Amino acid sequence: MTRHKRRVLGFAATVAILGGCGQTEPEQVTMSVAAPSRPKAPRTPPPPAITSIAQLMTELGIDQRVSLPEDLAPMTNPERKAVLEFFDSFARGDSTALRSMLTKLDRAELDQLVESGAWSEATMGIGQIDVQTGTSPGDGLACALAVFYVGSSFQPQLWYYTVDESGPIFEAVAAPPNLIDRLYGDDWISQWFAILDEELALADKPDEEFTVTQQDLSDGSNRPARGGGGPAVNPGGPPSLPGSPSKPGPSGPGRRKKGPKRAPPGPGG
């Protein structure tokens, strides 16, 4: 009965809407309509918290000679751990740990250093390792630069690095000649690549040919003229002396310590 009534009332309502000729007003039917369901937006997981460098050094047992300021550290925990452990292996002279984080070419160079005894000699004198991270200009590749302090001298070295599921990999960046005397400013990573670009541009530049005009200084006899024996002025001038570069410090670069230069520990020097 109810089912039949719903069908009749439904039809009567339709007729009334279309202008049927019935004299009596049809009974109104109220039908409940469920509100359309809206798909729930997926919840965005909160970004992972970044652990402080101080806490990571404690958790990982990093040698206190490794210094990585918070404002110069990577922005993810995997990268922070990789950079800290990489330079910790230098401070401890742990060639096995370091080898697992190097490219094939750098591993071969490290093996030669270990075999010759140069690795132990270079790392045993490390007093401090100042580290900063950033990116290479243009391509934006992650980089880590370290300044190794050995005695009264210091030596920088720069690496590219990547961190993925298989672990971190570091690759040494080429070091231009006399680099230690050419770095300045606060951002040594950008300076490093700028100097490297200058060296590559000079290498691509064709050699210029100079023609020296010959002048007869003889007096007609077999004796050379007075003062004959070479040019009076050196065309090249006196050799220029390299300036003293600045060195990174807690609040920016300072002045370079005087002392004998020494190759940086590790295969990237």
Mean pLDDT split into 10-residue runs, the chain, 269 residues: 42 39 56 65 76 97 97 96 98 96 95 95 94 94 96 92 95 89 87 91 69 52 41 32 38 38 40
Domain boundaries, the chain: 53-200
Can you tell me the distance from the alpha carbon of 188 to that of 194, in angstroms, rounded to the nearest whole number? Answer: 10
Q: Of 206, 108, 192, which Cα lies nearest the Cα of 158?
A: 192
* Per-residue confidence (pLDDT) for residue 253, from 0 to 100: 38
Give residues with Cβ within 8 angstroms of 145, minimum separation 6. 131, 132, 133, 134, 156, 157, 158, 159, 188, 189, 192
Cβ atoms of 154 and 265 within 8 Å: the answer is no
Q: What confidence score (pLDDT) does residue 124 get? A: 92
- Per-residue model confidence (pLDDT) at position 184: 84
Are 264 and 155 in contact by the 8 Å Cβ rule? The answer is yes
**pTM of the predicted model as reported, rounded to 2 decimal places:** 0.62
- Where do the DSSP E strands lie in the chain? 66-67, 126-135, 142-150, 153-164, 167-172
Domain 53-200, CATH among 3.40.50, 3.30.70, 3.30.1760, 3.10.450: 3.10.450
Counting Cβ atoms within 10 Å, is residue 190 exposed (0-12), middle (13-18) or buried (19+)? middle
CA triplet 246, 251, 253: central angle to 5 degrees? 5
Instruction: Assess contact for 22 and 15: CB atoms under 8 A.
Output: yes
Q: What amino acid is encoded at 150 in this protein?
A: V
Q: What is the predicted pLDDT for the residue at 128? A: 96
Q: Using CA atoms, how far apart are residues 243 and 237, in angstroms rounded to an integer?
A: 17
Question: Beta strands of 136-248 (E only): which ranges?
Answer: 142-150, 153-164, 167-172
User: Which phi-psi region, left, alpha or beta, contains residue 227 (left: φ > 0; alpha: ψ -120 to 50)?
Assistant: left
According to the model, what pLDDT value does residue 46 have? 73
